[in-house]
Amino acid sequence: MGRRRNGGHSSSPLNGLPQPQGSKIRFEDDDEALIEETTESSNIDESMCEADDSNRVIEDSACEPAQSLDDKDDKTSADYYFDSYSHFGIHEEMLKDSVRTKTYQNVIYQNKFLFKDKVVLDVGAGTGILSLFCAKAGAAHVYAVECSHMADMAKEIVEANGFSNVITVLKGKIEEIELPVARVDIIISEWMGYFLLFENMLNTVLYARDKWLVNDGLVLPDKASLYLTAIEDADYKEDKIEFWNSVYGFDMSCIKRQALVEPLVDTVDQNQIVTNCQLLKTMDISKMAPGDASFTAPFKLIAERDDYIHALVAYFDVSFTKCHKLTGFSTGPRSRATHWKQTVLYLEDVLTICEGESITGSLNVAPNKKNSRDIDIVLKYSFHGRRCSISKTQHYKMR
Q: List the beta bridge partners of residue 145.
A: 123, 170
- Helix axis angle for 129-136 and 150-160, nearest 10°, is 30
92 is catalytic: no
Q: Which of 199, 232, 304, 357 is catalytic?
A: 199
Handedness of CA 41, 53, 314, 13 (dihedral sign): negative
Q: Which residues contact 358 (CB under 8 A, 6 or more apart)?
A: 300, 301, 302, 303, 383
CA proximity to 59, closest of 286, 300, 374, 369: 286
Angle formed at CA 163 by CA 158 and CA 165, multiple of 5 degrees? 120
Q: Give the Å distances, CA to CA, from 94 to 22, 45, 193, 356.
A: 27, 21, 11, 39
190 is catalytic: yes
Going by DSSP bridges, is the β-strand pair 184-189/119-123 parallel, antiparallel, or unpaired?
parallel
- Respond yes or no on whether the N-terminal peptide bond of residue 221 is cis (omega within 30° of 0): yes
CA proximity to 245, closest of 254, 237, 236, 253: 253
Q: Give the Å distances, CA to CA, from 321 to 154, 261, 285.
A: 29, 36, 11
CA proximity to 229, closest of 340, 357, 343: 343
Q: List the beta bridge partners of residue 273.
A: 231
Q: Which of 46, 190, 304, 357 is catalytic?
A: 190
3-state DSSP assignment of residue 381: strand
Integer Cα distance of 287 and 63 in angstroms:
28
Are the C-beta atoms of residues 60 and 283 closer than 8 Å to each other? yes
Which positions are annotated as active-site residues?
A: 190, 199
